[in-house]
Structure formats: C-alpha cells, structure tokens
Structure 1
C-alpha cells in the first residue's frame, strides 16, 4: 500500500518529462523586493542552509555514495535513486556499484517517530560516535526522533587527513597496534601553516526518514530534489530560507518552485568545487560558498 502511494507518481514525474503546455495565468498579490546587497543575501542563505558539527567545516562526499530506499518497491525506488545518483554525478560524486552497502538510507514510513527511534536504538553508536566532531548535538538528535518534520535526517561526517585519506581524530577504543595502549592517529604535515590545514571533513553516512502522510501536495520532482539535497550536503533542519527560493521551502509552500532553485544548485556546486580539497573552519566554508552563490545568481541575471 505504501509503495503504491509513491510508485506511479515517481515513475511519471522523475523518470519522464511532462508534456509542454502553456502556463496558467497567475495573479500576483504581493511583490517583495529585497534591497540588500547580493553578497549579504547569499551569506544569509548559506548560514541558514548549512550546519556542520561544532568546530568543523561543512563536509562533502569524497567516496562513492550508495543509496538504499526502504519500504518502496523496486519500481518506485529506481527513478528516485537514479535521480539522486544523477545529481551526485553532476557534482563529481560517484555512485557505488550494484549490491554496494548503503551509506545513505532513506526510509518511507507512516510512523516516522517510531522508525527514527528504532534506528537510533538499533545503532546508538552510529549516531553518537563519542566525538563531537562527527555529528550535531543532542538537541538535533532529539529533533530527529521527536520532531514533526515531513522529512528528517541525520548526517555523520569524519575529519580526515587529506594526505592519507585516514581518520584524523581518535575514537574511544583506538589502540596503538604496537603497544596496545590508547593512541590517536598520527598526522604527518607536509607544510607548516597557521592558516591552512590538511584536515578535511568527509560525509560518511546519512539517515533520512520520510513521513508519507506529511508529503501532502509536494510533487515527486520536488521530493526527489529535496532528498538529493539532504543526501549531498549537511542541511540545517532548523534553518530558515523562506526569504530565498529553495527546494527546502516546498513543505511550507509547495507552489514555491518545481524543484532545485538556482540558489540550491549554486550552493551544491560551490560545496563540491574540485579545486577546494581542504577547509579551515565553518566561516571560511560559508565565505567560499557565499561568493560562489553570489557569482552564480549574478551571472544568471545577465542578458
């Protein structure tokens, strides 16, 4: 029954383009003009969209993603998973081979609180790894379980040595193989600098729970873009981007857009810039992404 609710819509809207037709006439009641500089608006957008663990930069995928959908038939899940893979591929993120072990798990359910609680109970260490650098705080975890959002998510990221690809912080239970004593990873720096670091932040796992009763008038295309966004970036569940166009607004206003906005795609492209390998801090990430968002929006406005 649950699969039937989304199967036909996903197949029709994500896999096929709708036939061209003239847009219906729309009466505009109010026009809101934001007179602030574009750079200021971009910074606000970035600050409200992204949320990294304390003292860390925004993470991104550097290993292949493997997305699994639960409580959907193959026919319903395939166009959704293909869409997420297509968005990821456009950003330079590879997808795992068939049969890969999922590191992105999307669960469709009619009881999201019970499912979120069950996921947490089944793998508490996977949500609280014993180090604040890997995930958001307990308040956000409480929102993941007990919140009322139509879609809820939980990201785990890992500070990683960009030179070796290995974890750069110690976890409980880490031992020196030679002595058997507690030990932290060794990082061999190739350059001495107070301004830059070879430590980067890598996404490692994402849990997403979708309340099928809360989808409402959101279209399959909007839903697919929304899920792709929270799969590929650490989105702040408490952020307010209502002043800018974003797919993140579709549950409050399903008529706000067909899916990804220019702001959304500019954010993702900036986050996945191939020439940026390491990050210094959250402010540096926000400045970098805000610059790219502002450039993209400004160039799209040129004739």
Structure 2
C-alpha cells in the first residue's frame, strides 16, 4: 500500500461556507460471501438508474480521465468552471473534441497517480481507455470549499436537475432532480454521472432503431435496440475530509465511483468494497486497502454484460457472473 498521506491535498476552488442539506436515511449494503440476495443488493446500489425503463449505463466509448486542483496549485474557480462548461457541452452535444491533455509532466503527483490508477483499473476489467490527448469525460476536482463549489455548480448549470430528454438529446439531462439533493449534502467525495441513450452496438441500418440519441424501445421480445451510454462523470473531492487515506485507497475509491454508477446516498460501511472507505457521516474507516475482489468482479461483470437488455435482465446477468470463480489477475 502506498504510504503517502494526503495532508497536502491541494485546494481547487474558493467559496463561502454552506449549511448541510437534510437527507433521507441511506440504504445499507452488506455483501457476505456469495449469497445471491446480498450480491443482488450490492449490484443494484452500484447501478443507479432513473426511471423504470432506463437500461444500465456504462462506458461504451474509451474513457478519458483528468483531475484539477489535486497537486498543490490553487486553481481559480473561474478556470475550474470554464473547464466544466466545456465538459458539459461535450455531454449535451455529440462529443469528442480531442483538445484537452490530462497531464504534460513526468513527475508523479497525486493527480497523475489517480489518472494512472483509474486507467489501470479500467484496462484490467476490459473497459476501453483513451490514450494520448483526449477530451476528459471523467473529471475529478479538488475543491477547498466543496459545499460552496457544488452549490455554485448546480446554480450555474440549469441542465443539472433537469429530466432526461429536456433538451432534445434523449438522455442528456446532466443529472436528474433526484440526484441533486444528495449532491448538495456535505461529504468527503460527491459525484454525479450523465448518460445518454443511443442505438445498441449491433443495431444497423434498417433495424428499426433510431440513429443518434433516443429513448429506449423494444426491438424484439429478447433484446432492445438501444443501450445507455455513460458520457460524463463529475467527482468533487473535499481535501480536508479525505486526509488520512492513502493514495492507493483514494485512487481506487475514485476509480470505483467513476467506472460504476453507485448511489451517492448509499451506505457502504459494511460492504467488502473500497466504497466502505467513508461512512455516511463522512468518517473514514480503514477497513479496506484497495479495490476488493467483489469490486473487480462487479466491474468485470458489468462490462461483460449485454447492453441490449433491460436493467432487470442486465443486473441478473451481472449477479450470475459475479458468483462465478474470478479469473487470476495481477494488480
């Protein structure tokens, strides 16, 4: 385990203090052994959906990871939000404009360590990874006043909290209304994911599927003509509240958040997962040193599952895959 502490964790954005937003009790996740009902609950909490007809979202295009404010330099709030604006427009409009570099130095910094670890985890579970210069669709920001930063973010971008399809791009509401309430609660790490509905990978011309983004509809009794594509993951870290975690723990925690779609308001404190690193009240518990076998099994199963199925069928397939013997892999 990397022994570096996070005491010098950098500050990314200035802001004023914020009152905490009350929230409902969190669902508790406990996975023990291979009990199917516990595994099902674990999978459900890692694959948040919005609406009964939404399929499970995952990264189907190569992921590009970037960090801001994690390496000692203070980043002006205006610069952070300008970068976020670009990412939001990339999510709203059919994207990939390869003009943003993730890192231009050879020095191992916390930011670069996190980027490299997320790429490494993605590659070990067969998630596509972009190399070279690319437009980041996973952005991790360290904000000195994460509460104020998040409030400003939500206020600045009216697409946050809007329903899916409000802008004509099918699934490109940046975060549904149900995600905003937990997003505004003070936490060590908070996040939201944006997904868009597109045609299934094996649906061709003349199949009856819409081209571009569109709402889900059934192409047959077995499979759907659509799939749910992750297009943006925005993660905000409060540097003062993650002090005490190792680089390995924090990087793996961020990898699990970025590559899955865990519920922000879930309670993972008793789960055999790196997500147990922080309790719902923000306390850090040193139970897990890195991604667990259950974490890796879930990611492998999610990215091996058939994206053309309903969420219910896809979750069942993930549970079945997780209960199979894990292949031998190196970290």
TM superposition score normalised by structure 1: 0.73
Which residue does the alignment assign to 1:59?
57
Matched, 1:279 2:308: yes
1:167 positional shift? 3.2
C-alpha distance in structure 2 between counterparts of 1:208 and 1:281, whole Å: 27
Q: Is the 8 A contact 2:67 2:111 kept in 1?
A: yes
Unaligned runs of 5+ in 1: 8-32, 171-184
Which residue does the alignment assign to 2:190?
152
Q: Name which of 264, 269, 276 aligns with 1:237.
A: 264
Which residue does the alignment assign to 2:179?
140
Which residue does the alignment assign to 1:269?
300
DSSP-derived class of the 1:295 partner: coil
Which residue does the alignment assign to 1:18?
none
1:38 positional shift? 1.6
C-alpha distance in structure 2 between counterparts of 1:251 and 1:241, whole Å: 8
Matched, 1:196 2:215: no
Q: Name which of 38, 42, 50 aligns with 1:41.
A: 38
1:197 positional shift? 0.8
1:119 positional shift? 2.5
Which residue does the alignment assign to 1:181?
none
Unaligned runs of 5+ in 2: 1-5, 11-29, 72-104, 205-209
Which residue does the alignment assign to 1:108?
142
Gap change, CA 1:221 and 1:104, over 3 Å in 2: same
C-alpha distance in structure 1 between counterparts of 2:129 and 2:31, whole Å: 39
Q: Is the 8 A contact 2:273 2:291 kept in 1?
A: yes
C-alpha distance in structure 2 between counterparts of 1:229 and 1:199, whole Å: 25
Gap change, CA 1:103 and 1:36, over 3 Å in 2: closer
Q: Name which of 227, 237, 257 aligns with 2:288.
A: 257
Which residue does the alignment assign to 2:157?
123
Q: Name which of 232, 256, 275 aligns with 1:248.
A: 275
> Structure 1 residues 55-64 or 238-247, which shifts more?
238-247
Structure 1 segments of 4 or more deviating over 4 A? 33-37, 132-136
Q: Is the 8 A contact 2:117 2:251 kept in 1?
A: yes
State how many pairs are aligned.
251
Gap change, CA 1:216 and 1:251, over 3 Å in 2: farther
DSSP-derived class of the 1:286 partner: helix
Q: Is the 8 A contact 1:107 1:208 kept in 2?
A: yes
Which structure would you say has the larger Rg? Answer: 1
TM superposition score normalised by structure 2: 0.67
DSSP-derived class of the 1:256 partner: coil
Which residue does the alignment assign to 2:75?
none
1:5 positional shift? 1.1
Q: Name which of 82, 93, 110 aligns with 1:76.
A: 110
Q: Is the 8 A contact 1:88 1:232 kept in 2?
A: yes
Q: Is the 8 A contact 2:125 2:296 kept in 1?
A: no
Q: Is the 8 A contact 1:158 1:167 kept in 2?
A: no
